[in-house]
Amino acid sequence: MAPRKFIIDTSLFVNPHARIAFGKDPKSAAKCFIKKVEKLDAEFFMPPSVFRELNHFVMDAAEDLEMVIKKRAPNLYGIYLPAAVFYNFIDDVRGRINKGLRLAEEFAKDNAPDNDAKLVKLRDKYRDAMRSGIVDSKEDFELVLLAKELDATLVSADEGIILLANQVGCEWINATKFGAHIKKLKKRK
C-alpha cells in the first residue's frame, strides 16, 4: 500500500491553536513536527511558494523541514476545476466588495472626532468582510490544487482553504486536529 500523502499549510506551524500539539512558537513546532513524522509511512508536500512563506516564520528550522516536506508546485495547466467553483467564487467576491463599500460609506458618514480609533475599527471590519472564509492568495489556491492533483489530504486551519477544498472534492483535516491524527499513522518499515 502506498504511503498516505498530506499537503501541509503554514497554519499548522503559525496558527497558535493548530500548532499546540507541536510547539509554542513556529520554530519549535517545526522541529517537533519533524521528530513526529520522520519515521511515519506518509509523504508530506508543500508548494514552493508556501514553503517560502513558512521560511519567514521558522527560519533555521526550514532546512530541516526540507528533509521531511517535499516541495512540489501544482500543475496549473493540467488541473481542471468545475466552472461552478469559479461562478460561486465570483458571486462571493462581489458580495464581499459590496459589504466593504457599505463599511467605507458608514465610516465616511460617521463624524465622530476620534479618527484613529475609527480607522482601526474600519480596518478590522473590512479585513473580516473581505478575507475571512475565502481563498485570498495564490499560495492558498496552490495548496488546494496540489491536494487535488496528488489526491492527498490537505492539512489547514484556514477557513477559506477548507471551503474551497470541500467545493473541489479534496479530503482535508483541520490542522488543529492533525497532532492527534498523526499518532494513528503507521511507522515506515
Three-state DSSP state, 149: helix
Same domain, 75 and 87: no
d(CA 181, CA 21): 10
Same domain, 32 and 69: yes
Same domain, 20 and 74: yes
Same domain, 151 and 121: no
Same domain, 149 and 92: no
Quote the Cα angle for 125-131-132, to 5°.
Answer: 80
The answer to whether residues 172 and 178 touch, using CB atoms and an 8 Å cutoff, is no
Beta-carbon contacts of residue 168 (< 8 Å; ≥ 6 apart): 81, 82, 85, 144, 148
Same domain, 21 and 75: yes
Cell of residue 17, nine digits = 491553536
What does pTM read for this prediction?
0.83
Same domain, 51 and 116: no
Instruction: Look at residue 111 and tell me if it is in a domain.
Output: yes
For residue 68, what pLDDT is reported? 95
Distances (CA, A) of 120 to 102, 110, 112, 117, 128: 16, 14, 14, 5, 12
Instruction: Look at residue 187 and tell me if it is in a domain.
Output: no
Residue 34 pLDDT more than 70?
yes
Instruction: Look at residue 188 and tell me if it is in a domain.
Output: no
Domain boundaries, position 25: 4-79+138-182
Instruction: Look at residue 115 and tell me if it is in a domain.
Output: yes
The answer to whether residues 30 and 62 touch, using CB atoms and an 8 Å cutoff, is yes
Cell of residue 108, nine digits = 465616511
Q: How many domains does the chain have?
A: 2
Query: How high does pLDDT run on average in the chain?
Result: 88
- Tell me the pLDDT tens digit for each residue of 131-155: 777 777 899 999 999 999 999 999 9
